[in-house]
Chains A and B, each alone.
Chain A
Amino acid sequence: MTTTVPTDMFQQSTEELISGSEAIAIACALADVDVITAYPIRPYDTVMQYVSKLKADGAFDCDFIVAESEHSQFEIVKHASAVGARTFCGSSGVGWFYAFEAITVTAGLRMPVVAMVGNRALDDPGAFGVEHNDAMAVRDLGWHLYWVATAQEAMDIALLAWRVAEDRNVLLPFAISCDGSFLTHSQAIVQVPTREQVNRYLPGYNRHELQLHPDNPITVAPQVNEDWLMEIRRQTDEAMRRAVGVIYEAYDEFKEVFGRGDPSPFIEEYMTEDAEIILVGMGTLAMPTRVAVRRMREQGKKVGFVRVKFFRPFAVEEVQNALRGAKGIAVIDRDYSYGSPSFGGVLFHELRSTLYPLPERPLMLNFIAGLGGREVMVRDVNEMVETIEKALETGKIEQETTWINVRE
């Protein structure tokens, strides 16, 4: 495997044709990560192939550990983080689930581990393609959860991830979700910043009085039971609330230092102004959705698209403001939640709960699409819009949840 190691070692900003995985690997080098753990599973593991090559080529110095399982992979970085090391790891599909115990305690212990999830369908049956259920599983645990849509965004959000996760007011882990293949393996032009820029943006990780060290003999995670657990849960809740402000701050500064970024760190709005129908989705399906929206606009349809970037913390007000005034909302889920209300997807439920307090609630439909890596096409998006148009016209909802492009 070849890597694009900038020969000047990040002294100058460069443009590289790289995949989302390689972009995150380069971000690891730029952020001078101390401990990185790997275990093979497609499609996330490309990031570790690049990381190991970057280390081998001397682009940066880290302890790169090939663990014997994902559980160990995540436990190792959790403990490295406790002594003050900056960390990175990741997984996909059942690998992410294999690590689940370690993943949950990482947030419980408030360790700012940054992880990449190369979204992949869960076994069985085996499938390599993208589904969001793997990463989604951490949504209640205190992990930041972000869905990127381009390789550039993957690099940028990785840099932001350490900045936010390691902030003293936050100290919560950060999962960067990347759609398998569409993001992990597809190349695009990425602006690689300089080390100087990154150093200016990203302070060193310092745990202060929380650092596990002989000079600071603390006891971490003693048994608490009913006496204290509720207070500790509440502290994590507060930290996640504070993360919202820290993310705004960190994103503003990101734009200042690197000269790029969207208006909001939480959502991307596309042609939403005056839109009557708005599609909502996450990750790389933004691409075909935007194309479909643009074409429909050309035909005079008032359609827009909102991409939810941060699934956790979820920016309720921003989403409300973006969708306020629309008559119909079509939520695209690349996931499933069997037996849930309306038999809908996870994002759909989140959107419903977000819009419930609005004085005028829009009609909402859910579309399950692109499971197992099946491509979401422009015509699929058209079909969603047609379905919601019909419902708006007749005032009748035939079915709230529709599976798109599926053999019946």
Chain B
Amino acid sequence: MTTLMTATDLPQVRGVKNIPVEEFYSSGHRTCQGCESALVMRLMIKAAGPRTIVLGSTGCMYVANTTYYSTPWVVPWMHTQLGSSGSAATGTAAGLASMMRKGKMNQEPINVIAFCGDGGGVDMGLSAISAALQHDEYNLLILCYDNESYANTDIQVSGSSPWGANSTFSPPGKVHRIMNSRWKKNTAPMLAAGHPDVRYIATACGSYGLDFNNKIRRALTIGGPTFIHSIDPCPKGWDYDPKYSHELGMLAIETGLWVQYEIIDGELILNGPSRSIAKGIRRRKPIEDYLSRQGRFAHFTPDDIAHFQQRVDDSWEKWWMPGVIPFTMSQD
């Protein structure tokens, strides 16, 4: 049994003013204006600090970020294949662990973070992420930044796209209005339920910077493999004015469509607005407030909106754990 050496200088931060000022994801990237995923990268590495290796799978956060001669990464960064975030994290952590144990490298905590998009993580890389989450002997974090499409290849529908969304592979047409009839995959709970030894799994959103910072830090310091799934508004793919990215992230949560939580050592803790909604302190906003702000839902009829609202209502009223566990236990 190996003893895990995690970073110790990454305390939880109270008050946004106490977030570090140093930037480790700086200028040099070419993401769209208002790209929330770029902010997620920045928040992620700000929280993790300089003793971190970042592995990035193919997608916008590779292609639009790291152009030869103009990398924004101040920390060591390496590309990995579209479905390989789990393997990249495992291989990097294993290499470091092996060499440190064998005296071939200085013993010190080094954070290993692999990020993937929804295409790379929720679809293609799911099995490798699952495998990585079984390796209790390695410290690693897999961050799935979910912009709800294969954005880099021109916005195609993924297993994490919302029902009915217009994408270049699911365009509304004269005969078929709804080309994507799949409901978004419930990824973080699937991974949590499937990997009971994982000590930390969370959902997050860049609109809540402090919360985001602390989640990254908890994931990196708790020990073992961890997973964070963040919802990232994407002005290009979702079709809205870039200045509303933050607001849309908040709306996704305030409407109850996206639920913010942490699962720490087997205990589910709802955060922020999701917590207030669950406690009945706050009412969910109508889903129309969210859908009507985005061009990707512009073809929706009132019936489509009602259907969408019904699905969200069900997830809060019928699911075993609101917005998290989509089944109930038989009373028999």
B99 touches A84 (CB 8 A): yes
Is the CB of B73 closer than 8 A to any CB of chain A? yes
Within 8 A of A (CB), among B23-50: 50
B76 touches A218 (CB 8 A): yes
B94 touches A65 (CB 8 A): yes
Known: A71-B84, A71-B128, A223-B62. A80 touches B75 (CB 8 A): no
Partner of B84, one of A72, A81, A219: A72
Within 8 A of B (CB), among A71-103: 71-72, 75-85, 87, 101-102
Known: A212-B76, A223-B66. A34 touches B98 (CB 8 A): yes
Residue interface bits A120-159, CB-to-B below 8 A is 1, else 0: 0000000000000000000000000000000000000000
Main secondary structure of the interface of A (DSSP, over half): mixed
A80 touches B66 (CB 8 A): no
Q: Which residues of B contact A32 (CB under 8 A)?
A: 102
The minimal Cβ–Cβ distance linking B41 to chain A, given in whole angstroms, is 13
B97 touches A63 (CB 8 A): yes
How many residue pairs, one in A and one in B, have C-beta atoms under 8 Å apart?
A: 147
Is the CB of A221 closer than 8 A to any CB of chain B? yes
Known: A61-B101, A75-B84, A212-B53. A67 touches B68 (CB 8 A): no
Among the 9-residue stretches B85-93, B168-176, B236-244, the one with 4 or more Cβ atoms under 8 Å from chain A is: B85-93
Within 8 A of B (CB), among A253-295: none
B101 (CB) vs chain A CBs: closest residue: A61
Is the CB of B220 closer than 8 A to any CB of chain A? no
B78 touches A221 (CB 8 A): yes
Main secondary structure of the interface of B (DSSP, over half): mixed
The minimal Cβ–Cβ distance linking B174 to chain A, given in whole angstroms, is 38
The minimal Cβ–Cβ distance linking A357 to chain B, given in whole angstroms, is 38
Known: A68-B130, A80-B95, A219-B73. A75 touches B66 (CB 8 A): no
Is the CB of A228 closer than 8 A to any CB of chain B? yes
B95 touches A35 (CB 8 A): yes
Task: Tell me the bound Cα distance from A87 to B101 in angstroms.
Answer: 16
B49 (CB) vs chain A CBs: closest residue: A214
Known: A67-B131, A84-B99, A84-B105. A221 touches B92 (CB 8 A): no
Q: Which residues of B contact A224 (CB under 8 A)?
A: 67-68
Is the CB of B282 closer than 8 A to any CB of chain A? no
B90 touches A76 (CB 8 A): yes
The minimal Cβ–Cβ distance linking A172 to chain B, given in whole angstroms, is 18
Is the CB of B83 closer than 8 A to any CB of chain A? yes
The minimal Cβ–Cβ distance linking B84 to chain A, given in whole angstroms, is 4
Is the CB of A217 closer than 8 A to any CB of chain B? yes
Is the CB of A216 closer than 8 A to any CB of chain B? yes
Task: Tell me the bound Cα distance from A32 to B110 in angstroms.
Answer: 23
B91 touches A77 (CB 8 A): yes
Is the CB of B319 closer than 8 A to any CB of chain A? no
Q: Which residues of A contact B79 (CB under 8 A)?
A: 220-222
Within 8 A of A (CB), among B108-139: 110, 127-128, 130-131, 135
A84 touches B95 (CB 8 A): yes
B95 touches A34 (CB 8 A): yes
The minimal Cβ–Cβ distance linking B188 to chain A, given in whole angstroms, is 19
Residue interface bits B284-303, CB-to-A below 8 A is 1, else 0: 00000000000000000000
A79 touches B128 (CB 8 A): no
Partner of B73, one of A72, A75, A217, A223: A217
Known: A34-B104, A75-B81, A79-B80. A213 touches B94 (CB 8 A): no
Within 8 A of B (CB), among A197-235: 204, 212-214, 216-224, 227-228
The minimal Cβ–Cβ distance linking A224 to chain B, given in whole angstroms, is 4
Is the CB of A363 closer than 8 A to any CB of chain B? no
Q: A80-B91, A217-B73 are in contact. List 14 more A-B contacts (CB 8 A).
A: A34-B99, A35-B98, A75-B80, A76-B87, A78-B91, A79-B80, A80-B92, A84-B99, A85-B96, A218-B76, A222-B66, A222-B71, A223-B66, A224-B67
Can you list the 3 inter-chain pairs with the closest CB atoms, starting with the nearest? A79-B91, A80-B95, A85-B95
Q: List 24 A-B contacts (CB under 8 A).
A: A32-B102, A34-B102, A35-B94, A35-B95, A35-B98, A62-B98, A63-B95, A65-B90, A72-B84, A72-B86, A72-B131, A76-B94, A79-B87, A79-B95, A82-B78, A83-B99, A84-B104, A85-B99, A212-B78, A214-B52, A217-B73, A217-B74, A223-B62, A228-B68
